[in-house]
Amino acid sequence: MNNTNKQRFSNPVLPGDHPDPSVIRVGSDYYMVTSTFQYFPSTLIHHSRDLVHWKPIGHVITRRSQLDFMDIPDSHGAFAPDISYYAGKYWVVIPYFHGQPRCTNIVYTADRPEGPYSDGVVLNHHFIDPSIFNDDDGKRYLAFGGGWVHEMAQDGSRLIGEARQVWAGTGGSTPEAPHIVKRSGWYYLLLAEGGTAFGHMETLARSRSVWGPYEASPSNPILSQQDPTKPLQKAGHGKLVEDPDGNWWMVHLGGRPLTPNGATPLGRETFLEPARWTDDDWLEVGNEGAPLEWIEMSQKAALTAAISQEFTDDPVDRFEGKELSPVWEWVRHPLENKFRLTAAGLEMDCAAYPLYVPGSTLLLTRRWEHFGFEAEACLSFAPQTLGEEAGLLLYRDMDGMLLASIRNGIGQTSGQKFDVSRSHEKQEHEGLYLQIDRSEKCFRTTLYQVRLELPVGADIWLKTRLESTNGQLSFSYSIDGIHYEGIDLSVPAAFLYPENYARYKCYTAPRVGIYAMGVKYQPEGKVLFKSFSYRGVDAAKASSVLEESLE
């Protein structure tokens, strides 16, 4: 590489809730898929020209008929996917984790990386993290967690023969995420061991046959973070890709805890490491096996174009397209025929659904990408029934969320508790109210409430801000989009962090978004979301670029 053309970029390359990355290169284009669990559409697809700057282009699961997320618990659903390219098609195999008692590995195909993808073909009911390996003799194989390998028919319709466990790793817990690469006559098998937390690591073995026996690398683990004071932790679940210049890279998941061994508000993110083959045909990754905070790249022309595009993107979504941007995902499936994109924005009906049951919702979310951020929605609320609400949402799972809403009325009729100590007072009030509720462990508590002198259907702007310095969420609102009224309320965001789950171990990270909700058996009003904006307000911006090139 020519050092004069190098630039430095910060890890992670895909910040926020993007775990379990799988990458391929087709020509000069890279495509990556990551896990989405209970969210829909499912299995997000990103595109890049340089492995640093990524743009979401679609999802694999866009129809409920492809995969149904109803009735599954939080952090179940679409686990670690794998993407490959074979016979002119894109192949994505997804482990559907439903806990009955295993998972089901299902393969989908498309002519274009962004889809649309086919209905799925069930390959087996076994362990998680399947991946497809296409050998140079035309044979195909499915690898899956535990170091198992099973031959697959060339058309992907079925598995052939019996599965074999070819290498179970070095003794670390939960050997997962197998990926096979063939180079110089060697079959290399990658595994993620130690669990997807602070003991995570990537290990490697090789064999002259896909069926083994496999010899473990003398440098195992080839990737791990062993210094708890470093900002990048939980490194593992990696996959290799070769660039057009013959350089090798590994994408992998990791996390950035606030303190050593502490909480990771942004969950498991996607990182990039340089990989080098040694003279004795083993692999070195990162900085002597440790993840790098900064990556050096030499593809200056491609990077310059990507950087220019990234910094000119409009942070405001006005919902002007025929479809929602791929950054948006619903909590499970959206209620059918209860939302629509119009010329004026995204319209939702105030339909009824329970917050705490794994069913259809009108909770629309996008990922946190920064330790500090500001999000704002402009909406017009036209309710028909007392108790209807719509507004901003900060969401971890069914057991942890914060709702900043415009409500139609307060009191028992609108679904609130009656205060028996004030039974002599009037506690039923009509009109529009701004309300902030903390919902935790299926119990909703009102933190703030104020009457709004606002006519039905008028525009209102709701804003929330997370401070990276203290982890506090604050709120404000405006009736003109210019002058904002601050709310005398500060809420610690820590209860939303994935480490603070109540029932099911949380594999997802917090999200921010919008929602609408109504009252069962009552007429449904509407809310029109005219815009939504998100911007980072800290130094942890994805793919931060040093202004100067390295000399």
Residues taking part in catalysis: 20, 176
Distance CA 174, CA 200 (A): 10
Distance CA 131, CA 144 (A): 6
Strand runs labelled E in 166-231: 176-183, 186-193, 201-207, 215-216, 223-224
Distance CA 331, CA 363 (A): 6
367: closest CA among 396, 341, 324, 339?
A: 396
- Chain centroid to Cα 195, Å, comes to 19
In which region does residue 421 sit, left (phi positive, over 0), alpha (psi from -120 to 50) or beta (all else)? alpha
107: closest CA among 142, 57, 148, 77?
A: 142
Give Cα separations from 290 to 6, 233, 491 (angstroms).
Answer: 21, 9, 36
First-to-last alpha carbon distance for the chain, in angstroms, is 13
Sheet holding 159-165, edge to edge: 131-134, 140-144, 148-152, 159-165
> Residue 126 belongs to what H/E stretch?
strand 121-126
Task: Give CA torsion, residues 130, 65, 76, 90, to 10 deg.
Answer: 30
